[in-house]
Amino acid sequence: MFITKKHIDRRTVLRGVGASIALPLLDAMIPASTALAQTAAKPMAKLGFVYFPHGAVMGEWSPKAAGKDFDIPKILEPAAKHRSHMTIVSGLRNRGGESNTPHAIIAGTWLGCVSPAVSHDPRAGTTIDQMAARVIGNDTAFPSLELSTEGGTVCDPAYGCSYGNTISFRSPTQPLPMEYNPRKIFYRLFGQGDTADERSAIVQETGSILDAISGDARALERRLGTQDRAMVSDYLDSVREIERRVKKMQSQGLGGVQLPDAPVGVPADFEEHLKVMFEMMALAYQANLTRVATFMMAREVSMRTYNNLGISDAFHPLSHHQNNPDKMAKLVKVQNFHTKVFTTFLDRLAKTPDGDGSLLDHSMILFGSNMSNSDQHNNSPLPAAVFGKAYGRIKGGQHLSYPVNTPLANLHLTLLDRVGAPLEKLADSTGTLAEV
């Protein structure tokens, strides 16, 4: 490890008029006198939960072979390049997400595994992202980050509207809103306006956050070694690219369709929307602004069409395929597309240095859904794959096939344990999964 004689504080930020930007971990942040202690301390992994709706065509998700010599099926094929960081877990069931009206509660029970009470007020379970955030996120600017791509919600006469537009609950009665406006997330992470009036004013501005902090950045670079200067430059280039893309979204609007409640900054192109949200997750990890993030790629009962794939069928009706081969083939194509875009996020983590490895080496990302066969609305066996190695605490490169009806809560207990936030019991859990 390179140890510099010039030490700067880990919480150093670059400041300008009305703007500030956190920095990634630099060698200059580890003083020579404490380098050994810093290195020996147990590092904290980045934890993520990426949810896709309407389950999966399980025959194209689940490998036929278990162990390390597993095949990679069609839906997961785009992520094959990250095979060594991939752990597919089969045989899981979430009884807490089962009901007669599944879409109303399916998203909100994915990370809590607790059956909600029949009530219009939220009464379910605290989700594991929030349990982890209390332990590994309390010294970051954002203990957790909640993202999505769609507004609106799924409501039900019995359960109300609490569970359809979030996968994160701070407490059994406190669902956390998920932000789908990338411009708002950008300025939330890197400064400037927060209220609707402030955001509207920002849209009219032509200035750049990076321009505002450029003087401070140049002063900092004079204090850094060659390796640190290169890392800061690459990081600020990434921030600049996201800033450019967010501004481009604002200028393009919604492709000419004027909606009175259209949020500022939401792009017309769904793939671009997904990618920019994933990029902001990566930046937040890189700058240690958060260690815990959840992302709902689309919501349940989504009526989105995938014309970019040549599919004009709306997503939710398509998910009721009735075993029609043509519809199932289209659904697999949509699910493969979701994995393809998710893989760009894995690519970004893999190429980003982080201490003695990459962000992917030091992350643990659950990619999955709380539904199995979307035509049957069942919750077993669930699609679940974990990416990353969490500083070596996840083995990776394997398909783990457990007996049918193994609680999903067992996987959740395992993930909490691997990030240093162990829990004795969660919902219907029976223990951790030692093989993960």
Tell me the DSSP string of 20-48. Answer: EEE----GGGS-GGGHHHHHHS-PPPEEE
Q: What is the mean pLDDT of residues 117-130?
A: 93
The helix/strand/coil state of 18 is coil
Residue 73 predicted with pLDDT over 80: yes
Two tokens, residue 222:
């004079």
Q: Cis peptide before 381, with omega less than 30 degrees from 0?
A: yes
205-209, 225-229, 273-277, 429-433: which has the minimum mean pLDDT?
205-209
Residue 157 predicted with pLDDT over 70: yes
Contacts of 278 (CB under 8 A, 6+ apart): 295, 341, 342, 344, 345, 348
Torsion angle of the four alpha carbons 336, 149, 213, 244, in this order, in degrees rounded to the nearest 10: 60
Q: What is the mean pLDDT of residues 45-55?
A: 97
Q: What is the mean pLDDT of residues 397-420?
A: 97
Q: Which pLDDT does position 296 carry in this prediction?
A: 97
Q: Which CATH architecture has domain 42-180+290-436?
A: 3-Layer(aba) Sandwich (3.40)
Q: Which pLDDT does position 138 carry in this prediction?
A: 85
Q: Which pLDDT does position 252 carry in this prediction?
A: 46
Question: Alpha-carbon distance 133 to 138, whole Å?
Answer: 7
Q: How confident is the model at residue 149 (pLDDT cuts 50, 70, 90)?
A: very high
> Full-prediction pTM beyond 0.85?
no
44-58, 269-283, 408-422: which has the minimum mean pLDDT?
269-283
CB 133 within 8 A of CB 396: no
Q: Which pLDDT does position 41 carry in this prediction?
A: 57
The residue with greater pLDDT, 11 or 173, is 173
Closest Cα partner for 394 from 85, 26, 154, 32?
Answer: 85
Domain boundaries, the chain: 42-180+290-436
Distance from the first to the final alpha carbon of the chain: 30
**Residue-wise DSSP of 160-200:** BTSSSS-S-EEETTEEPP-B--HHHHHHHHH-S--SHHHHH
Closest Cα partner for 111 from 368, 385, 319, 320?
Answer: 368
Q: What percent of the chain has pLDDT over 70?
A: 84
Q: Which pLDDT does position 16 carry in this prediction?
A: 66
Q: Which of 70-79, 95-104, 203-212 has the highest mean pLDDT?
A: 70-79
Q: Between helices 196-204 and 182-190, what is the axis angle to 10°?
A: 90
Q: Which pLDDT does position 180 carry in this prediction?
A: 92
CB 28 within 8 A of CB 6: yes
- Let me know if 239 is exposed, middle or buried by CB neighbors in 10 A (0-12, 13-18, 19+): buried
Q: Which pLDDT does position 201 carry in this prediction?
A: 57
CB 198 within 8 A of CB 292: no
Q: How confident is the model at residue 17 (pLDDT cuts 50, 70, 90)?
A: low
Q: How confident is the model at residue 275 (pLDDT cuts 50, 70, 90)?
A: very high
Residue 375 predicted with pLDDT over 50: yes
Torsion angle of the four alpha carbons 410, 168, 337, 282, in this order, in degrees rounded to the nearest 10: -100
Residue 38 predicted with pLDDT over 50: no
For the chain, the residue count is: 436
Closest Cα partner for 94 from 306, 420, 410, 433?
Answer: 410
Question: Alpha-carbon distance 75 to 251, whole Å?
Answer: 34
When the pLDDT of each residue in the chain is averaged and rounded to a whole number, the result is: 85
Residue 68 predicted with pLDDT over 60: yes
Q: How confident is the model at residue 19 (pLDDT cuts 50, 70, 90)?
A: low
Q: How confident is the model at residue 192 (pLDDT cuts 50, 70, 90)?
A: low
**Residue-wise DSSP of 262-328:** PPTT--S-HHHHHHHHHHHHHHHHHTTS-SEEEEESS-TT---EEGGGTEEEEHHHHH--TT-HHHH
